[in-house]
Structure 1
Amino acid sequence: MDRLIYTAYSGLTDSMVTQQVIASNMANAQTIGFRAELLSADAMTLKGPSIEARAMTRGEVRGANLKQGAVIETGNPLDIALNGRTMLAVQAADGEEAYTRRGDLAVDASGVLTNGDGCPVVGDAGPVTVPPGAKISIAPDGRVLAAAPENPDQPPQEVGRIKLVSTAGSAIEKGLDGLFRVPNGGALPADEDAKVQPGSLEQSNVEPTRVLVEMVEAQRLFDMRTKLISTAKELDEGGAGLMRLTS
């Protein structure tokens, strides 16, 4: 069989990955703090004594678009919007520290401060916990304040401080769980100058109109690559027919 079909097959595989990325971005167009995934496609030419006339295609998710999304006011004291390259430190399902832009916070049944994905919010000494029944608010510098309902005249007391980090100049990568991590382990240091906007939430930075255009383009490219396989089949059958005539 002509080697062209392997080249076309690698292109179809790349198209499938592209469709998965587009579908993920579209599905999360309304997810708080979601960062649109970026796909990178590279040509992989096989080296050898023959003429390098064909190259395979490899496509994979290499990162995310870190452009800030639109910020809306909610009035909820536990909602925070992060500015610039600031990210919120959370504890991932594997227990490791990870980072996210999702700032819709809440207090779970055990008194742990979590975000909308259910990940515990990390503070100076591990996950942030708050007193039961206390009225919680968050200051612009990330301090978690608790006011006792039985003493409404007393000022709220600091019970912890959210770890805010800056990703400027640091290498991070996005995992399948939507969280960002430092490659090969490790953690980013806290940024003491980082600020948040209480009572607001940052929306997803996915642009639905652009994603729809990308979806149409990806479908057309998939159709072209499918026709390329049909062309390879015709060429193979034509070559086999010529061989039979010669013999």
Structure 2
Amino acid sequence: MDRLIYTAMTAMNAAMDRQRVTANNLANASTPGFRQEIFAVTPATLRDGSLEARAPARGNVRGAAMRAGRVVPTGNALDVALEGSALIAFQSPDRQGVVYSRRGDLRVGATGVLENGEGLAVLGETGTPITVPPGFILNIAADGTVLASDPAAGNAPPEPIGRIRLVNPEGSPLAKGIDGFLKVPTNAGGTGVLPPDLTARLTPGALEMSNVETADTLVQMIEAQRAFEQRARIIATAGELDESGSTLMALR
């Protein structure tokens, strides 16, 4: 009986994790550049020489769906929509590594660093955050070059202050961690760095929206809830069988 309960319990945990991932996808249905998380459940059969009756379920985020989202013109000079499969390199929140995203709602932060809507610093080709001189007006070219013009300089042409580090992930493994960021895993357990792609292009004045399909995600949420309820009923049934067995033993 303990085998049945333990197996059902692991399946309940996997169903709960699936609900969390689905809820996160649904919450980010309107987040620019968000990539839908893909959840997978795999059985882990216990082999000890006896009957293989136990197969605990293990669920985790397998990766992200990289299909393109809808591109919406915004007219904002700092909004950028990436073309093809290109990604923008950002400084990780702990400032110890590099993460990748297609979120292009850029802005100048309080410290003068170019960042996106999540507050992640945009990295330049040298691997360091792009810093904007105070009061300068920015424009971004199709190749990722950041152009800054000084309003006090009159009609002086804008000057480049850096180039956004655009990368192409094709041919490289991408993983989406529990923090929601795309990374390049390494054999040592850390994260790798993709080289710049000088041919990558972006569209200024536009944003690529999330690729989450709201209707499909709602269906997935209902399926995850039903799966959890089914596992709960199995545990309840196991309890009833155990009580019935104890009653029969008492009658002997």
TM-score after normalising by structure 1: 0.95
Deviation at 1:152, TM superposition (A): 4.0
Aligned counterparts of 1:32 and 1:144: Cα–Cα separation in 2: 20
Q: Are the counterparts in 1 of residues 3 and 53 from structure 2 also a CA contact under 8 Å?
A: no
SS in structure 1 at match of 2:110: coil
Query: How far apart are residue 188 of structure 1 and its match?
Result: 0.4
Select 2:234's aligned residue among 215, 228, 233.
228
Which residues of structure 2 form unaligned runs of 5+? none
Cα offset for 1:115? 0.7
In 2, Cα distance between equivalents of 1:32 and 1:156: 28
Other-structure match for 2:248? 242
2:111 counterpart residue number: 110
Does structure 1 conserve the Cα–Cα contact (< 8 Å) formed by 2:61 and 2:177? Answer: no
Deviation of 1:240 (Å): 2.1
* Contact 1:2–1:236, Cα closer than 8 Å, also in 2: no
Alpha-carbon separation, structure 2, partners of 1:109 and 1:9: 48
- The yes-or-no answer on 1:199 pairing with 2:205 is yes
Alpha-carbon shift at residue 176 of structure 1 (Å): 2.9
d(CA) in 2 for partners of 1:67 and 1:116? 21
| Larger mean Cα displacement after TM superposition, 177-186 or 68-77 | 177-186
Q: Is the 8 A contact 1:42 1:59 kept in 2?
A: yes
Q: Secondary structure in 2 aligned to 1:150?
A: helix
Q: Secondary structure at the match of 2:244?
A: helix
Structure 2 matches for 1:171-186, cutoff 5 A? 171-183=173-185, 184-186=190-192
- Structure-to-structure mapping, 1:138-157, within 5 angstroms: 138-157=140-159
> Deviation of residue 154 (structure 1)?
2.4
Partner Cα separation in structure 1 for residue 202 and residue 80 of structure 2: 6
Instruction: Report which stretch shifted further, 146-155 or 86-95.
Output: 146-155
Q: Matched residues in 1 for 2:179 and 2:103: separation?
A: 13
Range that drifts further, 113-122 or 144-153: 144-153
Q: 1:54 to 1:109 in 2, by over 3 A?
A: closer
Aligned pairs for 1:63-212 (under 5 A) are 63-95=63-95, 96-125=97-126, 126-183=128-185, 184-212=190-218
Return the alpha-carbon distance in structure 2 between the equivalents of residues 230 and 119 of structure 1: 47
Aligned to 1:10: 10
What secondary structure, in the 3-state scheme, does the structure 2 residue paired with 1:117 have? coil
Structure 1 stretches of 4+ with a deviation exceeding 3 A read: none
Distance 1:176 1:117 in 2: 16
Once residues 204 and 231 of structure 1 are traced to their aligned partners in structure 2, the CA distance between those partners, rounded to angstroms, is 42
Deviation track 1:146-197 (CA, whole Å, cap 9, x = no partner) reads 1221234222111110000011111121233322111122210000100001
Aligned to 1:145, the other structure's residue is in SS state strand
Pairing 1:30–2:30 present: yes
The secondary structure found in structure 2 opposite 1:209 is: helix
**Structure 1 residue 128, shift from structure 2 partner:** 0.5
1:185-225 Cα distance to aligned partner (Å, 9 max, x none):
22100001000010000111111100111111111111111
Distance in 1, matches of 2:154 and 2:102, equals 32
The alignment-based identity, stated in percent, is 51
In structure 2, give the amino acid aligned to 1:12: M
* TM-score (ref. length: structure 2): 0.93
Distance (Å, rounded) in 2 between the aligned partners of 1:69 and 1:232: 46
